[in-house]
Structure 1
Amino acid sequence: MQFKNSASMVIGTLVVAVSIGAHAQGKGAVEVSGFGKYYVPDSSRDIGSNGTLLGGAVSYYLTDDVTLGLNYGTYDNIDGQNSHKDIHGELGGLDATYHFGTLGDSLRPYISSGVAHQSIGQDNRGGRDKSSYINIGTGLKYYFTENLFADAGVTGMYNMDRGDTEYMAGLAVGVNFGGAGKKVEPAPAPAVCNDDDNDGVCDNADQCPDTEANVTVDADGCPAAAEAVRVELDVKFDFDKSAVKQDSYAEIKTVADFMNQYPQTTTTVEGYTDSVGSEAYNQQLSQRRADAVRQVMVDEYGVAADRVSAVGEGESDPVASNDTAEGRALNRRVEASVEAQSK
């Protein structure tokens, strides 16, 4: 059997594949490679040395993992048993290969099996020594890119005519092109969210499907529970004075702004004194202090007068001891608190 035409086809296909570029791996791809193998003949052969097999192969991906391929090579550097002259020959075959791993992996081990035919010169005799083989091999492919790879493998060859076994080990470089490539699953279609009451919660998860417009809702689409918010006021006064100090205006403004934000709120400002002086005098002084703070809220910061009341509590309910100057300073105060429900 002659394979010279096959050799030309393999080499030509390799050149074309490199020139046009490879496109993909996988089912339907064509793989083209050039190889060099080290050949170890059986000792009973009329061959005096090991040698090399140079050639090429072309394979077709039947599936993403299985290829069917043809290969052809010529022997070089083989000496005869007696004459030590070069013996020339050729080997061609058909192999099926199964690749492990996943399409697109950098490393893909494989196993192969097939048949081959060898035609080789005979030492000191005319004619050719022809043999048929059953091959079993294994190896590893490394993909530099999706399409360019290197291949290292070993093959055991059983000679069906002579009943002996020979071996080859080699390296190859190749490309593949034209396959379907690694399957890319399409992105799932975006879920459709129907929201009839426009509260931001999809109908299939909305437990309150008829919420009124502009109502804040929770994750279930129901009106969110109101959250209590609170602000407090604590304004200090100098001894026997009811004038609001300038550095207290910012704190009063904070309370006034809160009340303007929540117009349903009301508050009572409560004035206090220390224990110095008569109880009756301190009662009047505490009222003047409460009135002064109320007036700032109304006149300076726009809180409606009917939303703020003022009460003097005198020297009752001290927050610190009146036995020290520091304690008495803390007791000279006006307090207020405002609470609202925030949605």
Structure 2
Amino acid sequence: MKLKNTLGFAIGSLIAATSFGALAQGQGAVEIEGFAKKEQFDSARNFKNNGNLFGGSVGYFLTDDVELRLGYDEVHNVRADNGRNIKGANTALDALYHFNNPGDMLRPYVSAGFSDQSIGQNESGRNRSTFANVGGGAKLYFTENFYARAGVEAQYNIDQGDTEWAPSVGIGVNFGGGSKPAAAPVPAPAEVCSDSDNDGVCDNVDKCPDTPANVTVDADGCPAVAEVVRVELDVKFDFDKSVVKPNSYGDIKNLADFMKQYPSTTTTVEGHTDSVGPDAYNQKLSERRANAVKQVLTNQYGVESSRVQSVGYGESRPVADNKTEAGRAVNRRVEAQVEAQGK
């Protein structure tokens, strides 16, 4: 593949990727990058100068931190001692482990893998070598989707026994990771049926069926509804923290006591954040907050784990103005509620 075709494909992919609206950087995300390397050839190569390598790569995140990357580049501006041009290409398969969390602005990484290099002089054949690669670097995310990368690789030539170095820089796009949780459905308002002829059954059967004679009815002839009792929980968190504060334990215990009083009840613990920071990071933070409250309910106050679900909504459901500090403090919360029919 010619260099201009390789770069054209990479640039086209970068442009196309901007049309994807899914959350980036998490498990299932794809990264497409164009890069340049400066390979420091071993002296055994008998080259007059080091090589400029240009190419592209495609990576897939197997987990939030582990990426499998396939790369291709071509060698330029290298001359042998006899003055002939050196041309060649590299194909590499590497695994990258990223530090920090998806959505963080800076994500350092380490890498390891293998590459195949075919390189040689005009009119004198080609040399093909297999390399074992190890490296490291960092990615700087300007937005959720666009980043710049700088790193360095050590390349051990398995066939010849020498080691070469290749510092590199690149720019890329990240798209297609896990989607945000769907908003909870809003329940439809309850229908109320009436008993206009006072015969003890509902008249508007289109809305609800006739009430049997042996069932207690209300003034409208509909089944009497038992009193509903409810307890609500609202736990606040410090900025960028997911640790439950001591002054919230009493409220969590009240919820636990209520659930023990009504053993058939269940609840969903919902985590939220303010709008400071990348959306992907806030999503993970909200999940950690919800899970922290769940752990207090189950581990400390004895509510069965199967009765408590936890979910994070990131910054998507503010209840106050995120433009003010007071509003952001209100939005850094975990909410839960439990309803039961009164005894």
With the length of structure 1 as denominator, give the TM-score of the two structures: 0.50
With the length of structure 2 as denominator, give the TM-score of the two structures: 0.50
User: In terms of Rg, which structure is larger?
Assistant: 1
